[in-house]
Structure 1
């Protein structure tokens, strides 16, 4: 047994790919047998992954899910920011420029509305829980946009580490909800073409959540949703510590 564990530890990334591949195969089988294809296998894989991550973290008392087990430590690299961002950036190669031009103003409007609505909602929730100063409301509101915009904004406006942590938590919850919920609501909102995918990515903004959700819906839509979601993150990082912060201070009279 010790020899097997040693082999797994020394080939962590390969083990991670093998485990995730097996999980996807099982999920596709469950999709065909239990839902007759109505629920995408990718969506089932996401749900199973979250359950396994929770079980791994609660069993070991750690904070990295299944990666807390030494034999599965390669999952922390596979699921880390480096490979995640590489996968998201690589989706740009699947973009059809004609579809982007066709979406034009709609996509840009969705990005602007997405940032403003998310920020407003996050700020209101922050105030409801007692964070009524402009710095905290701005930071948590920015976190409601994405878990990247929150820390960037919080650091710029001088928020405490506790408030920045809350902004990250808000963004992570949003990302998971979007990832799991996208394939469920896609048929209801007509999320089945590049134009709607760009509008959806612009409104939701969380790049990892949008990419995962669209992959579970229709992998051909991932490049379009991820593209506008990436612009959303950039716009949020630009507006959060500047215009939105100044505006909120003026409204609160601080």
Structure 2
């Protein structure tokens, strides 16, 4: 009987571990990076340092209250993490990004640990789970506490995604506004809609705000694309806030667009 109970216990642990890896795929990829669960972070909220490693635009849209924004892509990321450690020698540093499939929190924690910043962990549930469970400790478009009903769920986001080929065909029609939301480095001088599109990176809030205001005023349908089809999700909050309802994003961004072109070219050979 004891052997059977022991076997069943091990089986339950194995099943639980497999389920956790399915829900948090990064945990099996970043075995060297410690993580912290949502409930534990909520309990230790006042005693840890929280670092949002996403872009400034994403941070300005929605972030954990009291979190510091140090983008993983910043050239001084490691230096700033060292400064944070020196200023808070005994506190755990917690990194986070968008959600369970976002790898930036793991990458940020690993990079800091490998460069000598000790006691860094990943909060891999991300901002969306936190905001839904801790609205009083979250900031949405500068307001806190936030109303959980104003959070845009992934299924709602997907309703505004269209395949690259459909996006291109629809966007080219008269009366639509096309916006290239990539940053200058991602763009590298290449435009999908030469002479027709507006260029306004997500970081250029002034120009993007002007385009959104124009669409709200004229009723134009907005067709907006980025590099990977993910960052535009955060633009939805600005669009909805300004009353723009007719807008679409390119599913997969330019990465998917060029992949499709390569596949078609290969078939032609």
TM-score greater than 0.5 by the shorter chain: no
> Over alpha carbons, which structure has the higher Rg?
2
TM-score, with normalisation over the residues of structure 1?
Answer: 0.35
Larger RCO (CA under 8 A, 6+ residues apart): 1
Greater helix content: 1
